[in-house]
Amino acid sequence: MTTETTASETPETPETASAPAPAASGLIGLPAPLGRALATGGGILAVVSTFMSWTWTSAFPGDLTVYGYPGGLQVLVLIGGTLTTLFGLASYGVRGLGALTPGSADSALKMAALGTFGTAWYTVIAISDELGGVVNLDPGGFVVAIATLAAVIGALALPFERPEPDPVDPDDTGWELFRHNSRQKMNTFRAAFAAKAPEPARPLPSWAEVLVIVAAMAVGLVVFSYGIGTSYDELFIGFLITAGFGFAAISKAGIVARVSAITTKHRNITMTGAFLAAAAFPFTQSNDQYATIGVYILIFATVALGLNIVVGLAGLLDLGYVAFLGVGAYTAALVSGSPSSPLHVQWPFWASALLGAVVAMIFGVVIGAPTLRLRGDYLAIVTLGFGEIFRITVLNLDGTSGPDVTNGSNGISSIPNLNILGFDFGAEHQILGSTIGRFANYLLLMLIITLIVVIVFRRSSDSRIGRAWVAIREDETAALAMGINGFRVKLIAFALGACLAGLSGSVQAHVTYTVTPEQYQFAYVVPPNSAFLLAAVVLGGMGTISGPLVGASLLYLIPAKLQFLGDYQLFAFGVTLILLMRFRPEGLIPNRRRQLEFHEEAEAPAVLTKAGA
């Protein structure tokens, strides 16, 4: 009889008895319990410090001189300190906080501590720089600086645990090495999947899941309203730091994955809640100032979602997509009663919007038919050329270089405001006791357009043709071998994306009053343009619905808020994009497949190591 010796039955030798098991360590050589205590205690002190005075004078914006009432940047540190404290207590296994961290409590604690440290120290440095030295700090400023420094030191002391690679036999042949590497990649892939997937949890009742969706939409509305309404530059930079690290913290904790699973289960409720939350935004504003930014963000986001069909689903790199937006805008402007239009007609909005979408779709078919047989860089170059051809063409249709259709560089101006069923979009209206201005009216209209685009995207991606797009994107040669008509499938994607862009362009023409060729360049100063649209899709998350919407919002909001940097604005913006692509290459709200492709060497949790032992 053959006997097997398990690990627990192995005889203990003096060498194995005296050699302790290697302990995982963090970036700083402190014991993990001490690091966890430092991080949690630092978070608590950071919260306490926000109720103290940070500076003696109200010259620094936000009035940080009041005891017992946080203001300005103190509110952001209060949020970060609260998250740090909660994740710290959850890492201790405090009863009742387990649901807060279905993922990794230690990883969430690190991100929260780093965000709190960044916001606090930015505020302390800004006070010292603007007011003339650290002498302008009150006790609260010193307390928050020391507390957040201790918290980040403690967080960095928490261990990083990775799966150990399989040993390589030096006598293996080439085929055996290939099999070993393949097996190792599969193990790493499984570890990455286990690291990203939240732990199984007790299913919530349906009413509780609906409440989770409502809470998520409410939080999203509050964060967006706060970010867009920041009244001074220092507050917006602090908001970016807190929001960025806060999102990373709740993502590491597994909350984002858990909420995403619930919203996926209740898609219709989620879409309805998102629409209502966005519709409530104008009612949270006291004037039309921030509704202006909101309507332009929606136009930008809707066009980016249309581009996501072409780039995210079908995998076609289109660098001239903004031209389809211009086609829709010019078409609607020509038939909307503008005095500078040579047609001198005024169609109702539904007719002009439908015409803009159809004409843009026709242009998509005409341009796509001879070019979509190309692939990769060649297709990108051709689409970039089409974008420039469109701009030069409308520039030359001025009555001198060509027929008088678009008024050349002057464009089509004085486009009248919409009037739908007696509702004048250019006038103020009283709705539910709130005054809704011009841009708020157009924001509500763009919400309806966005909802239409989202429904089209969702239905298309879930259909047979959507699966064919994904197959073409993953491997066109294999898709063709399986019988998919690659040219027809890509042409449908190109035409549908162009149609959605033309629909958004018909609204943009009325919002901006004027359409000119300079608005539709590849890299225009103000988005939307082809470069920013593509960046919005990649940054937000290719192939998803919410990804381009979030990416477009950030890409429009950040440059608008960084104007105080002057000549360094684009530099700071570029550095921000590089950092995001370095640490989040799959996008802010990624597709699951792409997330695992970009993180094959992700950290595996300690549970995985114990399970494998």
Three-state SS for 190?
helix
Closest C-alpha among 138, 160, 161, 157 to residue 149: 157
Please answer whether residues 505 and 356 qualify as being in contact, where contact means their C-beta atoms are separated by less than 8 angstroms: yes
Evaluate if residue 531 carries a pLDDT over 60: yes
pLDDT at 43: 93
Could you tell me the sign of the dihedral formed by the alpha carbons of 25, 30, 33, 36, in that order?
negative
Q: What is the pLDDT of residues 544-574, one digit of tens each?
A: 888 888 888 888 887 777 777 777 777 877 7
Label residue 476 by pLDDT band (50, 70, 90): confident
Stronger pLDDT, 180 or 341, i.e. the higher one: 341
Evaluate if residue 11 carries a pLDDT over 50: no
* Beta-carbon contacts of residue 294 (< 8 Å; ≥ 6 apart): 228, 281, 282, 439, 440, 443
pLDDT at 78: 95
Stronger pLDDT, 404 or 136, i.e. the higher one: 136
pLDDT at 245: 92
Q: How far is C-alpha 218 from the chain's CA centre?
A: 17
Per-residue pLDDT, averaged over 583-591, amounts to 76
Evaluate if residue 12 carries a pLDDT over 50: no
The total of other beta-carbon atoms located within 10 Å of residue 112's CB is 33
Integer Cα distance of 545 and 458 in angstroms: 7
Evaluate if residue 290 carries a pLDDT over 70: yes
Evaluate if residue 163 carries a pLDDT over 60: no
Evaluate if residue 428 carries a pLDDT over 60: yes
pLDDT at 202: 65
pLDDT at 111: 92
Label residue 602 by pLDDT band (50, 70, 90): very low
pLDDT at 611: 34
pLDDT at 204: 76
Q: What is the pLDDT of residues 212-256, one digit of tens each?
A: 888 888 888 888 888 888 888 889 899 989 998 998 899 888 888
Tell me the Cα Rg of the chain: 28
End-to-end CA distance of the chain: 26
pLDDT at 203: 73
Evaluate if residue 135 carries a pLDDT over 60: yes
* Beta-carbon contacts of residue 334 (< 8 Å; ≥ 6 apart): 341, 342, 343, 405, 412
Domain positions in the chain: 32-161, 307-419+438-552
Long-range CB contacts (within 8 A, 24+) of 280-283: 280/221, 281/221, 281/224, 281/225, 281/443, 282/434, 282/436, 282/440, 282/443, 282/444, 283/431, 283/432, 283/434, 283/436
Label residue 592 by pLDDT band (50, 70, 90): low
* Beta-carbon contacts of residue 450 (< 8 Å; ≥ 6 apart): 278, 298, 301, 302, 305, 549
Query: Residue 423: beta bridge partners?
Result: 420
Cα angle 590-592-594, degrees, rounded to a multiple of 5: 70
User: Count of alpha carbons within 13 Å of 184, Cβ hemisphere only?
Assistant: 13
Evaluate if residue 268 carries a pLDDT over 80: yes
Label residue 13 by pLDDT band (50, 70, 90): very low
Mean pLDDT of the chain: 80
pLDDT at 551: 85
Q: How far is C-alpha 49 from the chain's CA centre?
A: 31
Evaluate if residue 342 carries a pLDDT over 80: yes
pLDDT at 166: 45
Stronger pLDDT, 176 or 528, i.e. the higher one: 528
Full 3-state SS string of 54-76? CECCCCCCCCCCCCCCCCCHHHH
pLDDT at 194: 43
Please answer whether residues 275 and 263 qualify as being in contact, where contact means their C-beta atoms are separated by less than 8 angstroms: no
Evaluate if residue 584 carries a pLDDT over 80: no
CA distances from 45 to 41, 62, 122 (A): 6, 21, 17
Integer Cα distance of 597 and 600 in angstroms: 6
Q: Which of 185-189, 247-251, 278-282 has the highest mean pLDDT?
A: 247-251
Task: Enter the tokens of residue 502.
Answer: 């033309």
Label residue 113 by pLDDT band (50, 70, 90): very high
Per-residue pLDDT, averaged over 24-38, amounts to 74
Whether the upstream peptide bond of residue 528 has omega within 30° of 0, thus cis, is: yes
Return the beta strands (E) in 282-334 as ranges: none
* Beta-carbon contacts of residue 254 (< 8 Å; ≥ 6 apart): 101, 102, 103, 104, 198, 199
The total of other beta-carbon atoms located within 10 Å of residue 103's CB is 23
Type of residue at 295: V
Stronger pLDDT, 521 or 449, i.e. the higher one: 449
pLDDT at 173: 47
Please answer whether residues 431 and 282 qualify as being in contact, where contact means their C-beta atoms are separated by less than 8 angstroms: no
Task: Enter the tokens of residue 379.
Answer: 């297709």
Stronger pLDDT, 38 or 588, i.e. the higher one: 38
pLDDT at 259: 87
pLDDT at 82: 94
Residue 222 phi/psi, 5-degree rounding, is -65, -45
pLDDT at 575: 82
Lowest model confidence (mean pLDDT) among 151-165, 172-186, 438-452, 557-571: 172-186
Type of residue at 265: K
Integer Cα distance of 376 and 365 in angstroms: 19
Label residue 401 by pLDDT band (50, 70, 90): confident
pLDDT at 430: 79
Label residue 25 by pLDDT band (50, 70, 90): low
Stronger pLDDT, 161 or 248, i.e. the higher one: 248
What b-and-e string marks burial along 221-247, b requiring 16 or more CB atoms within 10 Å of the CB?
Answer: beebbbbbbbeeebbbbbbbbbbbbbb
Percent of all residues in the chain with a pLDDT value above 70, rounded to a whole number = 83
pLDDT at 502: 92
Label residue 593 by pLDDT band (50, 70, 90): low
Label residue 18 by pLDDT band (50, 70, 90): very low
Name the one residue in this structure whose structure tokens are 């929606």: 298
Evaluate if residue 305 carries a pLDDT over 50: yes
pLDDT at 148: 94
Stronger pLDDT, 524 or 513, i.e. the higher one: 513
Per-residue pLDDT, averaged over 509-516, amounts to 88
Stronger pLDDT, 188 or 564, i.e. the higher one: 564
Could you tell me the sign of the dihedral formed by the alpha carbons of 303, 308, 310, 311, in that order?
positive
Type of residue at 594: R
Lowest model confidence (mean pLDDT) among 62-71, 90-99, 298-307, 478-487: 90-99
Lowest model confidence (mean pLDDT) among 35-49, 127-141, 508-522, 599-613: 599-613
Type of residue at 138: D
Evaluate if residue 48 carries a pLDDT over 90: yes
pLDDT at 523: 66
On the 0-12 / 13-18 / 19+ scale of CB atoms within 10 A, 417 is: middle
Please answer whether residues 64 and 77 qualify as being in contact, where contact means their C-beta atoms are separated by less than 8 angstroms: no
